[in-house]
Amino acid sequence: MAEAAEGPAVGPTSVGDSRSPPPSSSPTSVQGQILRFKLFDSAVDEGFWWRLSSLKLDVLGLDQSPIDRLTLLAESLPALSDERSPETSRGNRNRCPVPGILYNTNTMESFHALDKRNLLKMEAEKIFRDLSSGRAEEDCAVLLRFLIISFADLKRWTFHYWFAFPALILNPPATLLSLRPASDVFTPEEADYLSTACNVWRNSSMTAGMPFFLVSISPNAHVTIRPLKDWKACHGDSQKVLVISTSFILSLKRLNYLMFMVMVQLLFGFYDPCHYPSNPGWPLRNFLTFIYLRWKVEKVSFFCYREKHGLADLSLSLVGEALVSVPQDWQEAQFVPQATGWEPNSSGKLMYRTINLKESMDPISLAVAAADLNLKLMKWRALPTLNLAILSNVKCLLLGAGTLGCQVARMLMAWGIRKITLVDNGRVAMSNPLRQSLYELNDCLNGGDMKATAAVNRLKCIFPAVVNSLFSIFLWSVFILPFLDLLIFTELPYRKLQVL
């Protein structure tokens, strides 16, 4: 997904705010600890900024109304190192469509003036309504609503933005009862069935986009994965919920944790983008709240599904149990719990992020990059010893902007020379555009434009990065006449040529 922005008012943090902990070196199973979660790490694809720029220029204009039909493809699992840009289809295995809202401002001042606390509260209220009404049971992606505030400085191709991933704050916070790698919890037979079921679920275009699901395990180790709306059917099968008992054996050298599984019947699963061995990812926060509010389950057994190389990896995946409770005032009709979720920047501060895409979005920069690339490709095969850096710094004085001068000017640009001065005193005639490539019919009208001026303007249109200057010398033909007769007419042009 993506990254974010500054302001004095950010999402509130309270007793129940269990944010990103430092990663632990090994998984543990300690009873009574506060359950802590790893916040999303956003990464915005450049295509998003292209579309936002087009939308701003062609549709929105000065309109700062929020865009509430925004859908981003959120990484549902740890991305592979070679993944760069998100797919656009709903059924992509490693991404889930998530609803969100974008507030794009016209100025940096408006960006700073946004009431960030209130914006987060409004999104939290939407999530809370979806939890209470049961909508999340049909469309579980609403549990992962997100919020973006941004300012697009299109003159500089700089984008300032801040992501928020609203999470309702439980008070008291959820208590961790146990957390172990799934490979330590299941028998080899159960692990095989579970891995197969997960891979089938993930490969289906109908279910790959559902970030939350139910894992039902029968006494004979047969595993089925079902959508949240099948909760009643699963719960009505007289199946027991996963029970994990933990015994601690203390020795002089170490503390061993032994897990005994009485019967595994039902787990609440979710796609976990976190890679920490001792902490579940951010999606579990709202999921736990939903489970309690919707089905009144206080002791929740959850399954953090993680993959490696595109397949289920139970050594990375976690199985845990948490105790959840909410205050009585949550039952009130108009009550909205506090929320957290503003993403810190790369330095860990609650501030917006800034990205400069001039090199990849500015048309002039793109043209320069394409020209340089073409030169390097030609150099490798034709002239390996050619020093392109020297060429780019060469200053060229071109006398005459006729048939030869026009073609030479274009070829100089093609070989990386960006500083060209054109000298000519003629005007563009009607016959010139046919033979002289820097002129067109409009340059011939009304007596014709000065050749030096027209040529420089055309070179700028062809390659805006070129640094052109022009100079029209009076009576170019005087150099072929007797010097003494035309001294007064040649002295000024001569001195100017010396300067050039």
CATH architecture assigned to 33-356: 3-Layer(aba) Sandwich (3.40)
| Phi (first) and psi of residue 143, to 5 degrees | -70, -15
Q: What is the pLDDT of residue 253?
A: 34
Name the nearest CA neighbour of 352 among 144, 122, 113, 71.
Answer: 113
Instruction: Tokens for 487, please give them.
Output: 């001294």
Query: What is the per-residue DSSP string for 22-57?
Result: PPPSS----TTEEP--BPP-----HHHHHHHHHHII
Q: What is the pLDDT of residue 150?
A: 96
Instruction: Tokens for 477, please give them.
Output: 């033909």
Q: How far apart are CA 353 and CA 155, in angstroms?
A: 18
The helix (H) or strand (E) run that includes residue 149 is strand 146-153
Q: How far apart are CA 389 and CA 379, in angstroms?
A: 12
According to DSSP H, which parts of 91-249 are helical? 108-113, 116-133, 135-138, 182-185, 188-203, 231-235
Q: What is the pLDDT of residue 258?
A: 34
Region of 181 (left: φ > 0; alpha: ψ -120 to 50; beta: rest) is beta
Q: What is the pLDDT of residue 104?
A: 96
Q: What is the pLDDT of residue 107?
A: 95
Long-range CB pairs of 126-131, under 8 A, 24+ apart, other chains included: 127/166, 127/168, 127/286, 127/339, 128/168, 128/336, 128/337, 131/168, 131/286, 131/289, 131/290, 131/293, 131/294
Q: What is the mean pLDDT of each run of 10 residues along the chain (500 residues)?
A: 34 39 50 87 86 88 86 54 40 71 95 96 94 92 95 92 95 93 92 92 86 90 90 63 33 35 72 91 95 92 91 93 85 82 93 89 80 86 86 88 92 90 90 93 92 90 79 47 51 64
pTM: 0.70
CATH number belonging to domain 378-499 = 3.40.50.720
Give the start-to-end residue ranges of the domains of the chain: 33-356, 378-499
Q: What is the pLDDT of residue 275?
A: 86
